[in-house]
Amino acid sequence: MRLLGVGMCAAALLLGVVAAPAQAAGGSRDLRGAGWALKETGKDARFRGLAAVSRSTAWVAGSKGTVLRTSDGGRNWRDVSPPGAVAEGLELRDIEAFDGRRAVALAIGEGEASRVLRTEDGGATWTEAFRNPDPRAFYDCLTFFDARHGLAMSDPVDGKFRILSTDDGGRSWRVLPNAGMPEALAGEAGFAASGQCLVSAGPRDAWLATGGGAAARVLHSADRGLTWQVADSTVPAGNPARGVFGLAFRDRTRGLAVGGDYRTGEASPQAAAVSSDTGRTWRPASTPPPAYRSGAAWFPYGAGTALAVGPTGTDVTVDGGRTWRALDPGSFDTVACTADGGCWAAGEKGRVGRLERPGRG
């Protein structure tokens, strides 16, 4: 579902130097003193797609068909935008990268505006792997289990969410049968806000986040999208602007859901929820983020440490999502962390940041 409220507020410059993994694994798991150091991209696109490969390598994708890649921690960015996507002004809302050369990007929109693009040479060339032929479909997010197997999801068609599948690294895609997909609620859809309305953990488990209906729900598949179980979250819904916008699973059991109401000035109580049973049940955060959040990511050091981002700031939890505290006021739409301790965030007006610590290097 296309977001209507795109004019969200910007934030101030943030400071720091990245902690080395050994330091982060020690006394740094609560991220005290850390903040987002902005990395100048030279672009004004809104980056809702983010693929963090490592502390040094990351990809961002966004409006106007823009894709950028860095291999030096954000000091320099290479414009590797697909020419066709730029020419048509496609909205690239999700990108998944296997390394610094191979990536798969999703363009959203009704009908043929929804496309999957793929590169194997760092963005020097792109191949269109899928173009949606159904005017009723609107693809929102994609995810990969490994370098071969992945899924993409569309808002409901014929009353059910539609799932695309690939088993060759995104070179080809097929629509999965919908017999194992529960019926969608009236008005229910996914939010193409952060590339996190469809996520995966391990070789077979995937989760899909919804909003816009009477309840904000999370659907779970344990067989790469063939069958799904559905659970209500505790994030408020009941309006096209409310629901779960982003999911993050540390493993196949422990998950976070963030969201709220994306409209500027609207309250977003209970903007986060937590699950410890593969998404079968959800509990509200006892101290949630203070406002709408669109993206979340687990920090690799500290079993319960995670980040949530949105237009009014970043919050951190150190107890697995039960309580959140403010980390920084900067505006971001999406966030991702890597196994070597690199955390990246991206958002409006070309903003990209890397999580860093003052005086640590």
* pLDDT tens track for 15-38: 232 333 333 333 355 687 889 999
For 282-292, what is each residue's pLDDT tens digit? 999 999 999 99
In whole angstroms, what is the distance from residue 164 CA to residue 23 CA?
A: 41
Q: How far is CA 301 from CA 28, 175, 340, in A?
A: 8, 37, 9
Q: Is 119 exposed, middle or buried (0-12, 13-18, 19+ CB in 10 A)?
A: buried
Task: Report the percent of the chain where pLDDT is more than 90.
Answer: 88
**pLDDT for position 361:** 40
Average of pLDDT values for 98-102? 98
For 186-238, what is each residue's pLDDT tens digit? 999 999 999 999 999 999 999 999 999 999 999 999 999 999 999 999 999 99
**pLDDT for position 313:** 97
Structure tokens at 193: 């806000």
For 115-149, what is each residue's pLDDT tens digit? 999 999 999 999 999 999 999 999 999 999 999 99
Q: Are 199 and 206 in contact (CB under 8 A)?
A: yes
For 318-361, what is each residue's pLDDT tens digit? 999 999 999 999 999 999 999 999 999 999 999 999 999 865 54
- Length of the chain (residues): 361
**pLDDT for position 3:** 59
**pLDDT for position 308:** 98
In whole angstroms, what is the distance from residue 226 CA to residue 162 CA?
A: 11
In the predicted structure, residue 298 carries a pLDDT above the cut 60: yes
Task: Kindly report the pTM of this predicted structure.
Answer: 0.91
**pLDDT for position 34:** 87
